[in-house]
Amino acid sequence: MSYTRTRDLVAAALIAAVLVYGAVQVGYGALPPLPLAAGATLLVVALVEVVLAFVVRPKVQRKPGIEPLDPMTATRVVALAKASSLAGALMGGAWVALLVFLLPRYGPVEVVKSDTAAAVIGLISAVALIGAGLWLEWCMRNPDEPEEDTDSEDE
């Protein structure tokens, strides 16, 4: 298994940002106002992953008296962690694109103010999801596994 790399997350966020910025430029006027809780769902997923990390970490570390984690469950948890960090990066890029579009227009228009607040909440939630996903992935590392050689990865 390869661990999630920062450059992969940055690339996903940049691609999402470019695509969303183009879409927002074309069709922002047709969008309904964004609810403040639009991005907060990502925060809920991040909190669930933090709790999951606290539950599975002792099992992965094979602490005495704790039943080890089933390999299939471990695979599913790692897949969830990797997917969450990628989803957080994509949504983070989307929220950044929306903020880049909205901030120059910030002013007397009430819809822009509420959409900016929703985008800030969404961006914070996306960053939390990236962090939770990466931390859950780190918690799933096998303690007997040798550390990955990062120098050979960059070549």
Which tens digits make up the pLDDT trace of 134-152?
999 998 887 666 565 554 4
Q: What is the DSSP string of 6-61?
A: HHHHHHHHHHHHHHHHHHHHHHGGGSPPPPGGGTHHHHHHHHHHHHHHHHHHHHHT
Tens-place pLDDT, residues 72-108: 988 899 999 999 999 999 999 999 999 999 988 877 7
Q: What is the mean pLDDT of the chain?
A: 87
Asked, for residue 123, whether it belongs to a domain, the answer is: yes
Asked, for residue 120, whether it belongs to a domain, the answer is: yes
Asked, for residue 17, whether it belongs to a domain, the answer is: yes
Total domains, the chain: 1
Of 16-20, 67-71, 121-125, where does mean pLDDT reach its minimum? 67-71
Question: Which structural domain, as residue segments, surrounds residue 32?
Answer: 6-144
Instruction: Say what angle helices 71-102 and 40-60 make with each other, to 10 degrees.
Output: 150
pLDDT for 144 equals 66
What pTM was computed for the model?
0.85
